[in-house]
């Protein structure tokens, strides 16, 4: 494999610099790839695909027939992050999560940040994910956002930016663990002689966090994972995490609330539940508190939560902090609560709910990426420079109809990583989703999930829209 | 463990065991068709009747020949008892309880499902029906073996074993009843219309007395029992085959064996003791098991309903026992999740 034939096409490449020299931390990987014989990459890629199929590592795509499982494409060339750069990212993520947790606690209680004029009240109160019933709540140990998956991207300037915060029920961590496993099975030579931060201890850290935030009266807390069921797009992950932690995977129908205490129905009768890692959106959690038509929820769950008899992870109401309009204010939020500048910068963002910013966006709509404030999975995004006239006009009408619900950002030139195409390597755009646990302290899983847009030139990395993933290595310099 | 999960584990094992038994019966029928002693039409029709799906079959097919029956029992998604449907449902259940079963178990059932799907689509590169049937049998046996070797023999494993053995007892009884379906339809109709006695009992055996040895060897083959039977009895006779498949305590596909072990698992779950009961599952399964403890083949064959009458009664009571397990542990109305 001749790496000298590789094209960076003017993009920031994560493996090689513009003159095709390996970046720090990537030297060994680059030389191993260069040593690969003809046909070897294609062969290894096939082996990895087969392994994924046999292991049944799948996700479901909405809009397809119920139960349509797909293998999530995996590319065998890892993405490398050098350890000192990672240490900076880790610090930045801890800072951000700490501030966002204080923010959530504040807006559901004292609302100091609104009173002090740092964040406008309309922004909070009109948030689609603001949950009135959560006002006045104080979750166990003061933690709201126990599990976060923050999306990072590197621009053409080589700087890492936060693209969005995911504080509801972020998914993808199971793929981080499975990707590492598949890499070890199919391309073990790549690992030899390197010091790569392990990811395998995530389930233990997760369980320790879940037990830590249990209601204080629970001596030996009973932890469960709550899933909407096998047709949910992330069901594989729900069952994976339950299995790895050795806890029960429950559905709403398995749980029952009696006297403000949550129980699960077992073959030996009812058994008390203390902590619920719920992978169900707030809206569907409890038909008595939120959406009445929810069939996957548990009637009475919010009462039990309010009574302090059960812990919910993440706490209901955290979604307000992953509203993309609120995102625009996170640098100010960090400064307000911690008195520090944000270590990882935001992508410059215009909030259409602010009239002056909205006018600016509408006047140059074709230059921006426009995003709805409360969608996930990449749905509803309009890429201005690549949109047709009709799409832009439709977008303009939607912004005018509901400016609060839109933000705009400049089109980023996402960094790329060499990716197997046939038997050669071509650059494909990537992002990065590290996972952060907030319990007794804040833990950042080294690396995270690298998602890759497998279609040439595409910037869309979402699993639901043709994206795939890569193993992500935090590499320590110096041979092992 | 969760009631819902226990139900999934139980049914998953019934479905896998069902696929294996259907595969074996199809294989035996292929053999008999080669022998040529029984007309193919009667043979393939009898196979459909054995599993109780004749109404479903005739609703979609005009002729019970090898091609139609094989497709119906192997790949037909609309037939809930086809091998493809059973393995699909088992895999669906396995996904639902993915956190309860071991990874090797999951990988076996996933592989089986992928194989059958490819076979149905004609992309598995299969040489003939036997290769396919072998693979289905092997998948079930691998799954059972892997489960025994990689899963704690705790509550979930006991529910799995209960499901597997109750299904097996049912299927062995159906295979043994096949002579009933070999009879010309008119006689069979007369038998059930008359409520059995007139043409029941030993009279039934005379109808096809000519094909005896071949037919009863085939019955043994269908239950993978020919070799073990020979060690016990030598020559094949109707009486001895029936005795072996109903009463052979040490033989793992005999109905008595299945009930003894299923009851052991039931008692392991409840902590109960043999000979007394504290719920309807223990009562019904225990009663049926003790019925066999004290049964005798000559009484059955000479009794009012003959062998067919006995098997009918057995199947009805086995269904009641399975329903009682659902009600006792799964908190479901009986058989809501049966496929």
**Interface membership of B154 toward A (CB under 8 Å):** no
pLDDT confidence tier of residue B337, bands split at 50, 70 and 90? very low
- For the record, the structure tokens of B47 come out as 């196979």
pLDDT digits (tens, 9 = 90+) for B166-214: 999 999 999 998 888 777 654 555 444 444 443 444 444 444 444 578 8
Strand bridging mode A368-372 / A382-383: antiparallel
Query: Looking at B92, B121, B150, which one is the last position of a domain?
Result: B150
Number of separate domains in chain B? 2
**Interface membership of A59 toward B (CB under 8 Å):** no
The Cα–Cα gap between B40 and B222 comes to 17
* Cis bond upstream, residue A339 (ω within 30): no
**ipTM score of complex:** 0.73
CB A151 within 8 A of CB A433: yes
pLDDT confidence tier of residue A61, bands split at 50, 70 and 90? low
pLDDT at A79 over 80: yes
Instruction: Report which of B331, B327, B17, B22 is spatially closest to residue B162, judged by C-alpha positions.
Output: B17
**Interface membership of A53 toward B (CB under 8 Å):** yes
Query: Looking at B110, B125, B150, which one is the last position of a domain?
Result: B150
> Is A230's CB within 8 Å of B95's CB?
yes
The Cα–Cα gap between A320 and A171 comes to 18
Statement to judge: residues B244 and B183 lie in one domain: yes
In this prediction, residue B75 carries a pLDDT of 93
pLDDT confidence tier of residue A62, bands split at 50, 70 and 90? low
In this prediction, residue B194 carries a pLDDT of 44
Residues of A in contact with B4 (CB under 8 A): 251, 253-254, 265
pLDDT at A59 over 90: no
pLDDT confidence tier of residue A230, bands split at 50, 70 and 90? confident
**Interface membership of B278 toward A (CB under 8 Å):** no
Q: Could you tell me which residues come within 8 angstroms of residue B90 by beta carbon, excluding any fewer than 6 positions away?
A: B11, B12, B13, B15, B16, B19, B109, B113
In this prediction, residue A296 carries a pLDDT of 82
Total residue length of chain B: 339
Q: Across residues A199-221, what is the average pLDDT?
A: 95
pLDDT at A111 over 90: yes
Statement to judge: residues B120 and B45 lie in one domain: yes
Statement to judge: residues B211 and B132 lie in one domain: no
Residue B39 belongs to domain spanning = 1-150
SS (H, E, C) chain B: CEHHHHHHHHHHHHHHHHHHHHHHHHHHHHHHHHHCCCCHHHHHHHHHHHCCCHHHHHHHCCCCCHHHHHHHHHCCCCCCCCHHHHHHHHHHHHHHCCCCCCHHHHHHHHHHHHHHHHHHCCCCCCCCHHHHHHHHHHHHHHHHHHHHHHCCCCHHHHHHHHHHHHHHHHHHHHHHCHHHHHCCHHHHHHHHHCCCCCCCCCHHHHCCHHHHHHHHHHHHHHCCCHHHHHHHHCCCCHHHHHHHHHHCCCCCCCHHHHHHHHHHHHHHHHCCCCCCCCCHHHHHHHHHHHHHHCCCHHHHHHCCCHHHHHHHHHHHHHHHHHHHHHHHHHCCCCCCCCC
Which residues 301-330 in chain A show a CB within 8 A of chain B? none
Q: Which of A75-84, A194-203, A303-312, B270-279 has the lowest mean pLDDT?
A: B270-279
| Mean of all residue pLDDT scores within chain B | 87
> Is B96's CB within 8 Å of A229's CB?
yes
| Percent of chain A clearing pLDDT 90 (strictly above) | 78
- For the record, the structure tokens of B309 come out as 């009458």
Residue with tokens 């059973």: B86
Statement to judge: residues B90 and B134 lie in one domain: yes
pLDDT at A85 over 50: yes
**Interface membership of A55 toward B (CB under 8 Å):** yes
**CB pairs A-B closer than 8 Å:** 60
The Cα–Cα gap between B181 and B189 comes to 10
The CA-CA-CA angle for residues A300, A165, A57, to 5°, reads: 75
Higher pLDDT, B199 or A90: A90
Residue A456 φ/ψ region, left for φ over 0, alpha for ψ in the -120 to 50 degree band, beta for the rest: beta
Residues of A in contact with B107 (CB under 8 A): 54-56
Which of A267, A268, A270, A279 would you mutate first to test chain B, the one with the most B CBs within 10 A?
A267
pLDDT digits (tens, 9 = 90+) for A366-390: 999 999 988 766 678 899 999 999 9
**Interface membership of A264 toward B (CB under 8 Å):** yes
CB B270 within 8 A of CB B262: no
Phi, psi (deg, nearest 5) at residue A214: -65, 155
CB B252 within 8 A of CB B223: no
Total residue length of chain A: 480
**Interface membership of B117 toward A (CB under 8 Å):** no
Statement to judge: residues B90 and B167 lie in one domain: no
pLDDT confidence tier of residue A68, bands split at 50, 70 and 90? low
Statement to judge: residues B248 and B223 lie in one domain: yes
The Cα–Cα gap between B183 and B207 comes to 7
Query: Looking at B124, B150, B176, which one is the last position of a domain?
Result: B150
The Cα–Cα gap between A274 and A265 comes to 14
Q: Where are the domains of chain A?
A: 3-347+412-476, 350-411
Nearest Cα of chain A lies from the Cα of B104 at a distance, in angstroms, of 9
Q: Which fold has domain A350-411?
A: Dna Ligase; domain 1 (3.30.1490)
In this prediction, residue B336 carries a pLDDT of 38
The Cα–Cα gap between B320 and B284 comes to 7
Instruction: Report which of A94, A88, A85, A90 is spatially closest to residue A334, judged by C-alpha positions.
Output: A94
pLDDT at A71 over 80: no
> Is B99's CB within 8 Å of A250's CB?
no
pLDDT digits (tens, 9 = 90+) for A161-188: 999 999 999 999 999 999 999 999 899 9
Phi, psi (deg, nearest 5) at residue A435: -115, 135
Residues of B in contact with A67 (CB under 8 A): 92
| Percent of chain A clearing pLDDT 70 (strictly above) | 97
Residue with tokens 């050795």: A246
DSSP label at residue A395: H
In this prediction, residue A377 carries a pLDDT of 63
CB neighbour class for A373 (10 Å; exposed up to 12, middle 13-18, buried from 19):
buried
The Cα–Cα gap between A355 and B148 comes to 67
- For the record, the structure tokens of B104 come out as 């090797």
Which residues 287-326 in chain B show a CB within 8 A of chain A? none
Please, what is the end-to-end C-alpha distance for chain B in angstroms? Answer: 21
| Percent of chain B clearing pLDDT 70 (strictly above) | 89
- For the record, the structure tokens of A104 come out as 């959530």
Statement to judge: residues B236 and B264 lie in one domain: yes
* Widest Cα–Cα separation across chain B: 55
Q: Could you tell me which residues come within 8 angstroms of residue A320 by beta carbon, excluding any fewer than 6 positions away?
A: A104, A107, A124, A127, A129, A130, A131, A326
> Is A235's CB within 8 Å of B95's CB?
yes
The Cα–Cα gap between A316 and A334 comes to 22
pLDDT confidence tier of residue A461, bands split at 50, 70 and 90? confident
pLDDT at A66 over 60: no
CB neighbour class for A448 (10 Å; exposed up to 12, middle 13-18, buried from 19):
buried
pLDDT confidence tier of residue B332, bands split at 50, 70 and 90? low
Nearest to B4 among A53, A225, A251 (CB): A251
In this prediction, residue A271 carries a pLDDT of 94
**Interface membership of B114 toward A (CB under 8 Å):** yes
> Is B6's CB within 8 Å of A239's CB?
no
């Amino acid at each position: 494999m001749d790496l000298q034939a590789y094209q960076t096409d003017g993009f920031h490449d994560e493996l090689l610099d513009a003159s095709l020299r390996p970046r720090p931390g990537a030297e060994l990987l680059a030389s191993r790839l260069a040593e690969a014989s003809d046909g070897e990459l294609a062969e290894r890629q096939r082996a990895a695909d087969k392994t994924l199929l046999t292991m049944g590592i799948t996700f479901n795509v909405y809009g397809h027939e119920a139960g349509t499982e797909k293998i999530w494409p995996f590319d065998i060339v890892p993405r490398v992050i050098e350890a000192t750069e990672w240490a900076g990212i880790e610090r930045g993520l801890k800072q951000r999560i700490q501030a966002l947790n204080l923010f959530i606690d504040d807006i559901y209680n004292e609302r100091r940040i609104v009173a002090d004029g740092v964040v406008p009240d309309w922004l909070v109160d009109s948030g689609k994910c603001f949950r009135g019933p959560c006002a006045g709540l104080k979750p166990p140990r003061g933690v709201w956002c126990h599990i976060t998956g923050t999306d990072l991207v590197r621009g053409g300037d080589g700087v890492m930016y936060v693209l969005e915060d995911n504080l509801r029920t972020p998914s993808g961590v199971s793929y981080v663990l499975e990707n590492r496993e598949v890499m070890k099975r199919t391309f073990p030579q790549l690992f030899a002689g390197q010091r790569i931060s392990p990811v395998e201890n995530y389930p233990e850290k997760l369980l320790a966090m879940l037990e830590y935030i249990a209601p204080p009266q629970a001596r030996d807390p009973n932890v469960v994972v709550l899933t909407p069921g096998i047709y949910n797009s992330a069901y594989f992950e729900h069952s994976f995490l339950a299995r790895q932690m050795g806890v029960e995977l429950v559905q709403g129908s398995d749980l029952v609330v009696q006297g403000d205490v949550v129980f699960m129905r077992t073959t030996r009768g009812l058994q008390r539940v203390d902590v619920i890692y719920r992978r169900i959106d707030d809206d569907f959690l409890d038909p008595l508190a939120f959406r009445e038509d929810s069939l996957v929820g548990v009637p009475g769950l919010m009462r039990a939560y309010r009574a302090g008899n059960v812990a919910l992870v993440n706490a209901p109401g955290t979604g307000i902090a992953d509203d993309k309009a609120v995102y625009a204010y996170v640098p100010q939020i960090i400064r307000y609560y911690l008195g520090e500048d944000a270590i990882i910068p935001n992508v410059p963002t215009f909030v259409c709910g602010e009239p002056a910013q909205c006018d600016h966006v509408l006047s140059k709509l074709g230059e921006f990426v426009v995003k709805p404030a409360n969608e996930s999975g990449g749905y509803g995004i309009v890429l201005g420079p690549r949109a047709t006239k009709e799409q832009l006009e439709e977008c303009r009408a939607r912004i005018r109809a509901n400016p609060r619900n839109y933000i705009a950002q400049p089109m980023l030139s996402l960094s790329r990583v060499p990716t197997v195409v046939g038997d050669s390597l071509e650059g494909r755009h990537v992002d990065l989703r590290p996972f952060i646990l907030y319990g007794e302290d804040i833990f950042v899983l080294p690396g995270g999930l690298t998602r890759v847009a497998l279609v040439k030139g595409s910037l869309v990395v979402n699993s639901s829209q043709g994206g795939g993933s890569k193993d992500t290595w935090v590499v320590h310099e110096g041979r092992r | 463990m969760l009631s819902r999960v226990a139900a999934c584990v139980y049914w998953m094992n019934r479905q896998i065991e069902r696929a294996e038994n259907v595969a074996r019966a199809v294989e035996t029928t292929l053999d008999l068709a080669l022998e040529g002693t029984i007309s193919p039409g009667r043979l393939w029709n009898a196979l459909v009747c054995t599993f109780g799906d004749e109404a479903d079959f005739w609703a979609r097919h005009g002729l019970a020949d090898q091609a139609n029956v094989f497709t119906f029992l192997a790949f037909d998604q609309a037939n809930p008892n086809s091998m493809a449907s059973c393995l699909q449902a088992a895999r669906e259940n396995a996904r639902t309880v993915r956190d309860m079963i071991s990874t090797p178990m999951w990988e076996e059932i996933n592989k089986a499902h992928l194989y059958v799907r490819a076979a149905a689509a004609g992309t598995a590169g299969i040489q003939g029906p036997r290769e396919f049937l072998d693979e289905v049998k092997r998948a079930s046996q691998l799954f059972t073996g892997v489960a025994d070797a990689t899963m704690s023999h705790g509550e979930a494993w006991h529910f799995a074993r209960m499901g597997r053995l109750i299904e097996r007892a049912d299927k062995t009884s159906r295979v043994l009843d096949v002579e009933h379906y070999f009879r010309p339809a008119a006689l069979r109709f007369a038998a059930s219309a008359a409520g059995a006695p007139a043409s029941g009992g030993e009279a039934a055996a005379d109808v096809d007395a000519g094909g005896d040895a071949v037919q009863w060897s085939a019955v043994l083959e269908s239950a993978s029992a020919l070799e073990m039977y020979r060690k016990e009895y030598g020559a094949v006779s109707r009486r001895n085959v029936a005795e072996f498949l109903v009463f052979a305590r040490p033989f793992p596909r005999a109905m008595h064996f299945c009930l003894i072990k299923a009851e052991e698992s039931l008692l392991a779950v409840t902590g109960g003791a043999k000979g007394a009961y504290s719920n309807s599952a223990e009562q019904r399964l225990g009663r049926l098991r003790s019925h066999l403890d004290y049964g005798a083949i000559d009484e059955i064959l000479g009794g009012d309903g003959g062998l067919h009458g006995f098997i009918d009664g057995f199947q009805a009571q086995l269904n009641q026992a399975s329903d009682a397990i659902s009600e006792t542990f799964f908190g479901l109305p009986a058989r809501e999740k049966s496929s």
